[in-house]
């Protein structure tokens, strides 16, 4: 039986660090897809990260957020190893990001990401839909950026902004 570890509570130190990570990554302003990043956060007992979050490189230094996330991961890993804790055993996937209307957006999991045009339709943004169509975006072509083995990789050859 898998029970989320949150049901057992967390230490104040872990909660404080989670809050700091949320605060540091809340500004999602961007000028291009290259400004938008994704990073794994938390420790899952069954392995991997608890979740992936997106952030803007314009708003936070990548090395600083990576350091906070690493400390958070180790604190949760230690917390879990010292207790008998069950966890959700699904595997979280990295996210695909894009800069749309000067804001980093989450296009979904790497293997199931939607296109920027899908995102605009989902959010009923007629202005963005028109601009993407004029720019030649195809509803079947993936957009945004993601990481492969720690290196940025472009999913499509076109830029959004």
Q: What pLDDT sits at residue 160? A: 38
Q: What pLDDT sits at residue 116? A: 81
The residue among 42 and 143 whose pLDDT is bigger is 42
Q: Measuring CA to CA, which residue among 98, 125, 96, 94 is closest to residue 28?
A: 98
Share of the chain above pLDDT 70, in %: 76
DSSP 36-74: EEEEEES--TTSS-SEEEEEETTTS-HHHHHHHHHHHHH
For the chain, the 3-state helix, strand and coil shares in percent, each to the nearest 5, are 35, 20, 40
Beta bridge partners of 53: 39
Give the strands of the sheet with 145-148, arranged side by side.
Answer: 103-109, 95-100, 145-148, 151-154
Q: How confident is the model at residue 154 (pLDDT cuts 50, 70, 90)?
A: very low
Q: What pLDDT sits at residue 10? A: 58
Q: How confident is the model at residue 149 (pLDDT cuts 50, 70, 90)?
A: very low
The whole-chain average pLDDT of the chain stands at 77
Q: What would the pLDDT profile of 103-133 be if each residue is shown by its tens digit?
A: 999 888 876 777 787 788 888 888 888 888 8
């Amino acid at each position: 039986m898998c029970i989320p570890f949150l049901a057992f509570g967390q230490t104040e130190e872990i909660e404080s660090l989670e809050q700091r990570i949320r605060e540091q990554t809340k500004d999602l302003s961007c000028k291009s897809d290259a400004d938008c990043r994704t990073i794994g956060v938390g420790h899952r007992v069954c392995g991997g990260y608890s979740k992936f979050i997106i952030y803007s490189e314009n708003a936070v230094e990548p090395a600083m957020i990576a350091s906070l996330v690493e400390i958070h991961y180790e604190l949760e890993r230690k917390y879990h190893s010292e207790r008998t804790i069950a966890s959700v055993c699904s595997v979280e996937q990295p996210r695909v990001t894009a800069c749309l209307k000067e804001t980093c957006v989450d296009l979904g999991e790497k293997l199931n990401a939607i296109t920027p045009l899908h995102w605009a339709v989902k959010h009923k943004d007629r202005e963005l839909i028109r601009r993407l169509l004029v720019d030649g975006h195809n509803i079947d072509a993936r957009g945004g950026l993601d990481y492969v083995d720690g290196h940025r990789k472009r999913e499509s050859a076109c830029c959004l902004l």
